[in-house]
Amino acid sequence: MSEAGNTKYNIEYPVYRTNPHSAETRQQPFAQSVLRVYEKLFELPTFIMINPQDDLHDTELFVSDSILPLEAQLRALLTKITELPICGDDVQIFPHRFRSESTSATPSQSATQFIALMPLSLQDRVIAVVGILCNAETNTSTHFPRAHFQSGSDQLINADLTKKLKSFRNLARILVPGLLRILSANDLNDTLRIHDPASARYLLPPQQSNPREIFTVCNIDPLTGLRTRESFEQLISDAIESVTDPDQRVALFYVDLDHLKVINDAHGHAAGDAALVAISDRLKQMECENITALRLGGDEFALLLEDTSCHQIRALLEELPATLSHPIYHEHSEIRPKVSIGAAVFPRHANNVKELQESADTALYHAKKRGRNRASLFNQVMRTRLDRQVTLQRTAKQALMQNQVGTVFQPIRTCKTSKIKMLEARPDWPTQILEIARGSDLSKIFDSASFSDILGDTTIAAIIHTMRACQNTSMEPWEFLFRVPVPSLLKEGFCDDLSYLLQENNVQPDKFTLEIPSRVLLRANAHILISQLNELTSTGVKLCINHFDSGGLKIEHFQKLNISYIKLHAGSVEKLFEDEKTARLLIAATEFAHALNIEIILSEIKNAHTEEKLEELGAEYVQGEFYAPEQRFSEIYKKHVLGISQDPIQRAKSSIAHRRVSRLPSSMIN
């Protein structure tokens, strides 16, 4: 997102005074504050004209300091320009040579000065103009004095200026709707107007008798024109205090634009801003007497419903995802935004402002965890789950800090000989965590950005120590598989660091297999990751794709990536096999993999029935509790190297034969 979307502007309006001229210094008007924002974005001298009129005294013009000496000429020129018929909403380019005044904006003798501007029209009338001044040489002037951007910019010889003009056009298209809303008469459900022309013309709310209601720039988001979080809690508090009837409700909707970073990476930051503005526009259209839209920051928005009913809440919850997900067209790209929505209701889900915010946030968290692009209404089960998740994360963090999380290994065997092909490394969680965790809680912690680094580093270190312990033993041919946490995989430099560690510790890269989920290859910027993975596999490291059965991968992924293994989960495959057509498709997909010399690992097999049922897939390797449980490496080492069985009788016999071995290698772990 651009600077306009990230920056917090804290420039206040002056408080209302009956005699504005009594102030020692004139305060900065709203448009002047916005001008400073636009200057940084456009990187050229900028101006904003508000309320263009025949009478120049009724027209406000705000200009960059570098072109302040040209203010009078520019005012007269812009007044004439705005008298012309409006030619659409595109950027207009005008050549003009100002009378010589000492200014850095004065053009050179061989250049022509241009004014590029975007008109803001409301009800067929120009109410404001945003523009820039620039210098350039031209091939011809046949399309001037007035040219649309497309025809005008093509004639400019200066490539850098053409680039800046294009940047101005893109940014202006994004910024203007927000500024137009700010200046419009219907904004904020009240009439915002400029004070008496003879005074300082500060932007004021209609209730001039109450100075505390004067807005600041912080109350208006410069990018979208929506209210910001500065007055958010007060709005909720006022709505709750206004509830007098038992049937009245106050609802809070949190709205998150999903995967904004992906939009930025795929289409550019201007496209990301365009998506934010489009979502803002759609939320703005929903505003009425009892609905207020806000932008809380970044990709977060909110809707506050006052004096509402359960029927209106349910209706809005149903229509909101579809309404906000209509395609957005930016430049030549089609963007399909997706949103996650969490909602909570007072007094059903909360007794005060803080509880209402927490409940809505919990519902939003639930919507994201269910896969995003959906709406969730708060219930107590969500709170229970969230509390357990928080407790689990706190306990996990403590265990990691105290080095209580070890590493266990589960063998992966060949189908034909039942010999061990590789060992998969997994975190060995302490008992207190296992007592709290349920279902997929542990996998969520593994892929959590908060824990991925330390878990990944711990597991990789354990694998390297184990690989060194296997050298010059019967276990030396074994490979080791590591399912890398997604945040670690996407972290810059991960592949290079892994390659360095393997080389530095003198272990064979071709014995190390990196397991990644297929979904990371579907990201908008996946080509960068694919390039890094290819460099890693060129050193000998092997690649295993997980969740292949969930779909989404294309033939080009198999063409571009050097994939050695595909892992299928028995439980997921069993469900797919319930439908005959889907089963045939999955079998065909595995045959396709075999044709590319990619081997199949069938994991999580729990019984012989599952093994028999899935034989049609022709998997080369199997894994699961049915074959071998997760074990500490010391137990595996004792059995396969020292020949010590876990059976007490066999262990006693083996201890006599191997009594000279007093201890395990120091490089071993666990």
- Specify the pLDDT at position 9: 28
CB count in 10 Å sphere of residue 183: 23
The model carries a pTM of 0.52
State mean pLDDT over 175-200: 45
Please give the Cα distance from 67 to 106 (Å, whole number).
9
Bond into 337 cis (ω within 30): no
Span 407-434, average pLDDT: 90
Work out the pLDDT band at 87, boundaries 50, 70, 90.
low
Distance in angstroms (rounded) separating the CA atoms of residues 462 and 485: 15
CB 229 within 8 A of CB 296: yes
CATH code reported for the domain at 3-194: 3.30.450
**In the block, which residue shows the tokens 């979208």?**
224
pLDDT at 398 over 80: yes
Give pLDDT, residue 254: 95
- More confident site: 29 or 492: 492
C-alpha angle 348/350/355, rounded to 5°? 160
Three-class SS of residue 629?
A: coil
Per-residue pLDDT at 525: 73
pLDDT reported for residue 75? 83
Instruction: Give the integer Cα–Cα distance in Å for 605 and 622.
Output: 7
* Burial category of 439 from C-beta neighbours within 10 Å (exposed 0-12, middle 13-18, buried 19 and up): exposed
More confident residue, 487 or 453: 487
State the pLDDT at residue 212: 33
Chain mean pLDDT for the chain: 75
| For range 593-603, the mean pLDDT | 90
Q: What's the pLDDT score for residue 141?
A: 39
Q: What is the pLDDT of residue 540?
A: 94
Which architecture does CATH list for 395-633? Answer: Alpha-Beta Barrel (3.20)
Is residue 408 within 8 Å of residue 625, measured between CB atoms? no
Instruction: Calculate mean pLDDT across residues 80-99.
Output: 67
Find out whether 134 and 161 touch, Cβ atoms under 8 Å: yes
* CA distances, 378 to each of 141, 219, 363, 364 (Å): 63, 28, 5, 8
- pLDDT at residue number 401: 83
Q: What average pLDDT does range 433-450 have in this prediction?
A: 71
At 466-497, the pLDDT tens digits run 999 888 888 889 999 999 888 888 888 889 99
Q: Give the residue with greater pLDDT, 397 vs 341.
A: 341
What is the Cα–Cα distance from 280 to 302, expressed in whole angstroms? 10
Mean of pLDDT values over 361-371 = 87
Q: Is pLDDT of 458 > 90?
A: no
- What pLDDT shows up at residue 535? 93
Return the CATH architecture of domain 226-378: 2-Layer Sandwich (3.30)
pLDDT above 70 for 5: no
| Rounded Cα–Cα distance for residues 74 and 49 (Å) | 10
Element housing 284 (H / E): helix 269-285
Phi then psi for residue 224, to 5 deg, are -110, -15
Q: Lowest-confidence range among 18-32, 92-106, 296-310, 557-571?
A: 18-32
Confidence grade of residue 189 (pLDDT, cut at 50, 70, 90): very low
Q: Is the confidence at residue 245, as pLDDT, over 90?
A: no
pLDDT at residue 198, rounded to an integer: 35
Task: Provide the 10 A C-beta neighbour count for residue 432.
Answer: 14
CB count within 10 Å of CB 465 equals: 20
For the chain, what are the domain ranges? 3-194, 226-378, 395-633
In the numeric block, the tokens 């990691």 are attached to: 400
Q: What's residue 659's pLDDT?
A: 34
